[in-house]
Structure 1
Amino acid sequence: MTREPTAVLDKLLHLSSLMASDLGRFEQESGLTTARTHVLWTLGHAGPVTQQALASALEVTPRNVTGLVDGLVASGHVTREPHPTDRRATLVTPTELGERTIRDLRESHTDLARQLFGDVPDRRLAAFESTLDETIATFLRLMEETT
């Protein structure tokens, strides 16, 4: 049976739409934007870091990170603390609310992965992951070619 690439793309777009809807629901419930959630996710992996390091990790401008961190400070998710060895730098540090939010993000991430893929046999999941990796690489290459 030959698969039509457009039918597969349509399914991928449908999945993307479902994920965007779920993300929108999360934003509404949590009061956090996707970008602020990404900052917290990054802090969960990196721990307290400078805004410069955050900008690099998120691949955005330092000015963009300043606005994101300002919002997270205002919502009580992070603080800016003096850097222990560099007087010119500050560390973005999760508060208790930020740490709890990061834990909740990790748990919901793990739970969704388990719900979506927990019953998929290893060989099928490996093939799916490989196909996704190839698709992402191709899409990135196509995007670079148009810039």
Structure 2
Amino acid sequence: MAADLSRFERESGLTTARTHVLWMLGLSGPSTQQALAAALEVTPRNVTGLVDGLVASGHVTREPHPTDRRAILVTPTEVGERTIRDLRESHANLARQLFGDVPERRLAAFESTLDETIATFLRLMQEST
């Protein structure tokens, strides 16, 4: 997996951190830098540097927010969208390699158990605050 990530970074010219920003944009669509910082659990200043690099490489643009004059949306360009598609394809290929030989009923049971575990974890986290 590390070799795949290194190959992807070499081919795309992106660092792991910039790849994470693009992945989040692929999940959530255009986002403010503040929202990206919260999602990535980094400082807004850190995201500013990452977005600066992605703007320079042509992967994203900064656009005015349609309803908040003070905010700027980070938006993937065509190059960014293509990179996000490549990331998704890479993740899908890895999933096929990991789970390709597992029978469907076992995958369904695993998914159900994982969903229950996540729900329990989230409940416990809420109860502890």
Smaller-chain TM-score range?
0.7 to 0.9
1:70 maps to which residue? 52
Deviations 1:19-52 (A, max 9, x none): 2232122211211111111100100010001000
1:117 maps to which residue? 99
TM-score (norm 2): 0.79
* Bigger Cα displacement from structure 2, 35-44 vs 19-28: 19-28
2:6 counterpart of 1:24:
yes
2:83 counterpart of 1:101:
yes
Aligned-pair CA distance for 1:68: 0.4
Query: Whose RCO is larger (CA < 8 A, sep 6+)?
Result: 2
Letter in 2 for 1:123: R
TM-score (norm 1): 0.70
Tell me, what secondary structure is at the counterpart of 1:86? Answer: coil
The structure 1 segments of at least 4 consecutive aligned residues displaced by more than 4 Å after TM superposition are none
Q: How many residues align?
A: 114
2:15 counterpart of 1:33:
yes
Unaligned regions of 5+ residues in structure 1, if any? Answer: 1-18, 138-147
Q: Please tell me the root mean square deviation across aligned C-alpha atoms, in Å.
A: 2.1
Unaligned regions of 5+ residues in structure 2, if any? Answer: 122-129
2:12–2:83: 8 Å Cα contact kept in structure 1?
no
- C-alpha distance in 1, partners of 2:3/2:14? 15
Q: Which has the larger radius of gyration?
A: 1
Tell me, what secondary structure is at the counterpart of 1:81? Answer: strand
